[in-house]
Amino acid sequence: MEKLHFYSKILVLVLSLSAAVEVAESAIGVNWGTISLHRLSPKNVVDLLKDNKIEKVKLFDADPDSLKALMGSGIQVMVGIPNEMLALLSSSASACDLWVAQNVSKYVVKGGVDIKYVAVGNEPFLTSYSGQFQSYVVPTMVNLQQSLAKANLGGTVKLVVPCNADAYVSNLPSQGAFRAELTQIMTQIVSFLNSNGSPFIVNIYPFLSMYGNSDFPQDYAFFEGTTHPVVDGPNTYYSAFDGNFDTLVSALSKLGYPQMPIVIGEVGWPTDGASGANLTAARVFNQGLVKNVLSNKGTPLRPGVPPMDVYLFSLLDEGAKSTLPGNFERHWGIFSFDGQAKYRLNLGNGYLKNAKEVKYLPSRWCVANPNRDLSTVASHFKLACNYADCTTLSYGGSCNNIGEKGNISYAFNSYYQVQKQNPRSCEFDGIGMITMLDPSIGDCRFLVGVTDEKSLGFRSDSGWCVILLVACWVLRVIFM
């Protein structure tokens, strides 16, 4: 009796442990992009992920530095293939073999990287690409699947295709369908995904719906109840996210795959560079999203589904991204470029924790000398902002109201920091001036750059210079 009791206690313990493991397997992952002006060292980033118990990460390419830093971390990884590589990979089986060898097999070893997915392109069917990548996707998948099989990874590494939500259209979730010109290709892709047990990956951006359409009901974009619910037959939608998700469920059902698993590849809210992009909105949206996902309540068409996998966009701000979509594009991070939490956000394991041991450049800034005539400064301002990031100065941005002199100083400082505080980068024909006093004004932060391993290269470069100088001097002595 006593013994039985003991065993049943153990059983209960084991069961509750496994339940705990399931709970700990938080479905919230992040996108880690690296189009940065000040790159945080990959080790800092991986420590940041670990400190915040973020167990899934999505990369946009197979960046060796990122992958090396992820080795042994236990973090599950999705590795992306840039759209520009698809033409080659679709037409060459050997290029695919090589890609898999160099960028997957090499890392999927004991103590290596847990690569679970390979993303074939990134939103390759985006309307604004006018179909230029469309025909490469399926042939690349076929080639890569063979390469993975040859590498004995056919069952463990799954191919996926992250699509933008513009791949499907509808006024109501129940009427969702893929864009007419994509029907055939989507049928092939979804059948391929299904036979490999892969999910459909979609990127959903209520912010962009709102940004592109002044009539879009604001409260519908957030998760906090709404005065504009969307009634669709028996179902009522209170958030753009749920509505969009179910539109995809309908589109997949039309192709004959109503049960196809769906993973959210990107979702988020920017904090700067446009009106509507601010800290409060981002916090409310992202916290609402996390709550929605972790509640496991699902959506009207998929109620109580198993935990939904979601990759937040994004982990860090990326100051070198194209501003073509808008000036907000460089401000999607839940952390600023230097790994500091922008706002309180709980991903299910407590509030975000800042990156530790970040190596900053010295506390120095470059500003416009207040005693100089600034009337000739336009070309300097333009050059600095073309090279560095000035998007916070734009309408709706955190530095939009700092005046003309403030503008110029901001531009000078951004440039100076990108130039790693090289004193010559603060000259601007004598208008620039280095200061030790932080010129930040209110919410407008004048940044100080960070250095990464690569900037240690700067030191070894100067080491080489010394060696070369000595060598030249020796040669001169010999030949004089």
Q: Given candidates 41, 56, 58, 61, which one binds ligand NAG under the rule CB under 6 A?
A: 61
- 276 sits near ligand NAG (criterion: CB under 6 A): yes
- 111 sits near ligand NAG (criterion: CB under 6 A): no
- 404 sits near ligand NAG (criterion: CB under 6 A): yes
Closest to ligand NAG by CB, 96 vs 264, is: 96
Q: Cβ(273)–Cβ(392) under 8 Å? A: yes
Closest to ligand NAG by CB, 407 vs 421, is: 407
- 74 sits near ligand NAG (criterion: CB under 6 A): no
Segment interacting with ligand NAG (CB under 6 A) among 116-124, 391-399, 423-431, 442-450: 391-399
Rounded to an integer, what distance in angstroms lies between the CA atom of residue 302 and that of residue 432? 59
Catalytic residue, from 25, 55, 123, 224: name it.
123
- 62 sits near ligand NAG (criterion: CB under 6 A): yes
Q: Which of residues 286-345 bind ligand NAG (CB under 6 A)?
A: none
Tokens of 225: 């109840």
- 102 sits near ligand NAG (criterion: CB under 6 A): yes
Closest to ligand NAG by CB, 37 vs 96, is: 96
Q: Which of residues 414-473 bind ligand NAG (CB under 6 A)?
A: none
- 407 sits near ligand NAG (criterion: CB under 6 A): yes
Rounded to an integer, what distance in angstroms lies between the CA atom of residue 56 and that of residue 70? 11
**Sequence-ordered list of residues with C-beta below 8 angstroms from that of 24, at least 6 positions apart, any chain:** 53
Q: Shortest gap between Cβ of 213 and ligand NAG (angstroms)? A: 13
CA atoms within 13 A on the CB side of 216: 18
- 280 sits near ligand NAG (criterion: CB under 6 A): yes
Q: Cβ(78)–Cβ(58) under 8 Å? A: yes
Segment interacting with ligand NAG (CB under 6 A) among 44-52, 95-103, 198-206, 236-244: 95-103
Rounded to an integer, what distance in angstroms lies between the CA atom of residue 126 and that of residue 313? 17
Q: Cβ(414)–Cβ(449) under 8 Å? A: no
- 403 sits near ligand NAG (criterion: CB under 6 A): yes
- Crossing angle of the two packed helices 403-418 and 378-387, in degrees rounded to 10: 40
Segment interacting with ligand NAG (CB under 6 A) among 26-34, 45-53, 94-102, 344-352: 94-102
Residue spans of alpha helices (H) in 122-274:
137-150, 183-195, 206-211, 218-221, 240-254
Q: How far is CA 136 from CA 101, 107, 114, 200, 360, in A?
A: 21, 26, 27, 18, 43
- Residues that bind ligand NAG (rule: CB under 6 A) add up to a total of 18
Segment interacting with ligand NAG (CB under 6 A) among 186-194, 288-296, 334-342, 390-398: 390-398
Closest to ligand NAG by CB, 264 vs 411, is: 411
Residue spans of alpha helices (H) in 93-136:
93-100
Closest to ligand NAG by CB, 261 vs 432, is: 432
Q: Given candidates 40, 141, 281, 447, which one binds ligand NAG under the rule CB under 6 A?
A: 281
Closest to ligand NAG by CB, 168 vs 211, is: 211
Q: Cβ(297)–Cβ(289) under 8 Å? A: no
CA atoms within 13 A on the CB side of 241: 27
Q: How far is CA 25 from CA 18, 20, 198, 275, 355, in A?
A: 11, 9, 19, 35, 22
Identify residue 374 by its one-letter amino acid code. L
Using DSSP, state whether 216 is helix, strand or coil.
coil
Segment interacting with ligand NAG (CB under 6 A) among 120-128, 163-171, 277-285, 338-346: 277-285
Query: Known catalytic residue: 427?
Result: no
Q: Residues 236-275: x/- map of binding to ligand NAG (CB under 6 A)?
A: ----------------------------------------
- 103 sits near ligand NAG (criterion: CB under 6 A): yes
- 99 sits near ligand NAG (criterion: CB under 6 A): yes
Closest to ligand NAG by CB, 82 vs 303, is: 82
- 98 sits near ligand NAG (criterion: CB under 6 A): yes
Using DSSP, state whether 352 is helix, strand or coil.
coil
In the chain the first and final C-alpha atoms are separated, in Å, by 100
- 278 sits near ligand NAG (criterion: CB under 6 A): yes
Tokens of 445: 């932060």
- 147 sits near ligand NAG (criterion: CB under 6 A): no
Closest to ligand NAG by CB, 53 vs 116, is: 116
Q: Cβ(173)–Cβ(129) under 8 Å? A: no
Query: Known catalytic residue: 123?
Result: yes
- 394 sits near ligand NAG (criterion: CB under 6 A): yes
Q: Is 152 left (phi over 0), alpha (psi -120 to 50) or beta?
A: left
Rounded to an integer, what distance in angstroms lies between the CA atom of residue 444 and that of residue 274? 14
- Residue 17 dihedral angles phi and psi, to the nearest 5°: -65, -45
Closest to ligand NAG by CB, 36 vs 394, is: 394
Active site residues per annotation = 123, 266
Residues binding ligand NAG (CB under 6 A)? 61-62, 82, 98-99, 102-103, 218, 276, 278, 280-281, 393-395, 403-404, 407
